[in-house]
A and B are shown apart, each in its own frame.
Chain A
Amino acid sequence: MQNLLRSVQNMKPSQPSQPSAASNQRQQTAAANPPSPPSGAARASEGPERAFKPSGQAIDAIRGQVSKNWNFDSGRKDANSMVVEIRIEVARDHQVIKAEIDPQYLPRYRSDSAFRASADAAIRAIMRSSPLQLLPQEFTADTYEKWRTIVFKFDPRDMF
């Protein structure tokens, strides 16, 4: 067996790992977006423009779609601490153009491999939900700028 062990040589990576979708645009995000407001079930933050408040039915449709695509491993250690926020940009046709981790989570993303895997799963859930099921009577062309950016908070608290 010793010979066998010696014979296996772990070489350096054949090519450097490229940054994942999560890390791709993190600098851009950090520079472009101010700190997030406190999270909530579904709301629009107050800004200079009037808040965009979709109906409960509209929110349920989006939540149902993303939840079905969020494959969360509840058996990992400290699974209940794997909370992450993903900021996405949606095109007018409801396709997801961009999905990135909120900057406040990036230090943990870089240092905690379990969190990194969990955050990547959240990004996958978003990408698999494209185009998003946005009710056309509420997510209209006129209000596009108000729903162009959506922040999803993935918090597995109801899975335990």
Chain B
Amino acid sequence: MKATKRLLRGIAGVAGAVLLALGVAAPLPARAELRIDITRGVVEPLPIAITSFAGAAGREAQIGRDMSNVISADLERSGLFRPLNPQGFLQTPEQLRSGEPRYQDWRAIGAQALVAGSATMQGDGRLKVDFRLWDVAAGQHMAGLSYTATPDSWRRIAHIVADAVYKRLTGEDGYFDTRIVYIAESGPANARLKRLAIMDQDGENHSFLTDGKNLVLTPRFSPTAQEITYMSFVNKRPRVYLFNIDSGRQEVLGDFPGMTFAPRFSPDGNKVIMSMALNGNTDIFTLDLRTRRQTQLTDSPGIDTAPSYSPDGSQIVFESDRGGSQQLYVMGADGSGVKRLTFGQGRYATPVWSPRGDLIAFTRQQGSEFAVGVIRPDGTGERILTKAFHVEGPTWAPNGRVLAYFKETPTGGGRSARLYTIDVTGVNERRVVTPIDASDPAWSPLIP
């Protein structure tokens, strides 16, 4: 091994000498040029000035103010931006609407980016929203867009504007125009009422989708964000269901002989992958939603469950105890080539492949401690993002940058369950406010 390393170093040395010789032979620059490497920067939220979108008066004034607040809150919650206090702004929103920014005024208050816009009611009763984004440090316009919508969708347009700002400044898609479905819990531990509930990613527009008559678990969004698959105990029989958000219609998925659970859509939305338990054995199956054809993917004596597709649909990560302890495994979409992914201490569960493909999130239980972490699909780079008495069930924001999960904490007589989000770097943990206890969140794709 050492000899190989020495040989590689030797080859590198020869290559270096060749490059040097080429450098001498190459044309020389006309003027000496000083070169400096910067290899370390700072990681801090970008100071951004978001001016009021408020229109002249009345409703458009209120909507404009509210939109600025929503945009500001979205960007602030991401942890990547620090909205500045508008009281310190030296240029008014009106001046920005009719002219260019006075960059020196924005630099003076420490802004590095500037957002301005307007919300105006049109003659046809629709709301028109314009916004512009500038790079204050470079003194350049970066983006500008215009939207028209019904006035009651102002909140959604604000999220879309926040996504546009996020994308231009970070280079990655935003995740603010999204929703979260979760299990809303109430009542005593021995008679817990569990309902499907849905809300915007910031906790607004909350509503319950089911009445709690039947226990529901593990909701997951379809790629169109219009349907949810989940497991429900109807007539004491646990089976996988499909729920249409617009119509409220529910249907049982597939005619399986055993109990079905842990469902999740394929990335193209054409299949649902799930587990079926029959005669003491649990394996993974898919159901084609167009043909209703069932396909068995695993056939091991252990419990194979919690399957999740890679974003390109070519692989599946799942949990299994086939090796003696509960660990994560990866296989091809047809069930071939099963490889063990985790070898750490403790039990690994609830794997979810990141929408950007680079990581798999999981829950790990080690002794009495739970953790949510991430690992690369090749099994390297395992990192724990958060630990708690009970933390579980990660779900990715559609840009693969933020995760949501639920955390239980012991209270006087029982436990309290809450939803949280965290940046993939393990910082910026934030609570998502829900009206009652909450567990098992699932983040939607960007709403089409």
Contact = CB atoms under 8 A, between A and B. Distances in A.
Physical interaction between A and B: yes
Nearest to A51: B32
A124 B400 CA distance: 26
Q: Which of A7, A38, A68, A159 has the most CB of B within 10 A?
A: A7
Contact of A38 (B23, B33, B147): B23
B210 interface: no
A120 to B, nearest CB: 7
B172 interface: yes
**How extensive is the interface on chain B, given as a class?**
35 or more
B289 interface: no
Contact of A77 (B44, B356, B425, B448): B356
B108 interface: no
Contact of A145 (B31, B42, B147): B31
Contacts of B35: 37, 39-40, 42-45, 150-153
A42 B34 CA distance: 7
Contacts of B139: 21, 127
A10 B41 CA distance: 36
A63 B29 contact: no
Nearest to B42: A71
B36 A42 contact: yes
A125 B145 contact: no
Given A14-B146, A49-B32, A77-B358, A8 B160 contact: yes
Given A20-B142, A47-B28, A67 B41 contact: yes
Contacts, number: 222
Nearest to B39: A158
A75 B425 contact: yes
Given A48-B30, A118-B171, A15 B144 contact: yes
A2 to B, nearest CB: 5
Interface stretch (B65-73, B148-156, B299-307, B432-440): B148-156
Interface in A32-86: 33-52, 54, 59, 62-63, 66-78
Interface residues of A, number: 86
A145 B31 CA distance: 8
A114 B138 contact: no
A157 interface: yes
Contact of B41 (A14, A99, A115, A156): A156
A29 interface: no
B141 A18 contact: yes
A120 B160 contact: no
A71 B36 contact: no
Nearest to A153: B37
B146 A13 contact: yes
A1 B170 CA distance: 29
Given A20-B142, A39-B37, A47-B29, A5 B135 contact: no
Contacts of A149: 31, 33-34
Given A7-B153, A39-B35, A48-B30, A77 B148 contact: no
Contact of A114 (B33, B38, B153, B172): B172
A11 interface: yes
Nearest to A52: B32
A71 B138 contact: no
A50 B142 CA distance: 41
B83 to A, nearest CB: 15
A96 B142 CA distance: 21
B19 interface: yes
A73 B170 contact: yes
B321 interface: no
Given A9-B149, A21-B139, A124-B112, A1 B171 contact: no
Given A8-B157, A21-B139, A72-B43, A47 B358 contact: no
B153 A146 contact: no
B118 to A, nearest CB: 10
Contacts of A4: 150, 152-153, 156
B171 A152 contact: no
A117 interface: yes
A150 B39 CA distance: 16
B146 A128 contact: no
Given A10-B147, A11-B145, A117-B169, A54 B34 contact: yes
B245 interface: yes
Given A7-B149, A34-B29, A118-B171, A153 B36 contact: yes
Contact of A47 (B31, B112, B140, B148): B31
A150 B33 contact: yes
A116 to B, nearest CB: 6
5 contacts: A41-B36, A59-B36, A117-B171, A150-B35, A153-B35
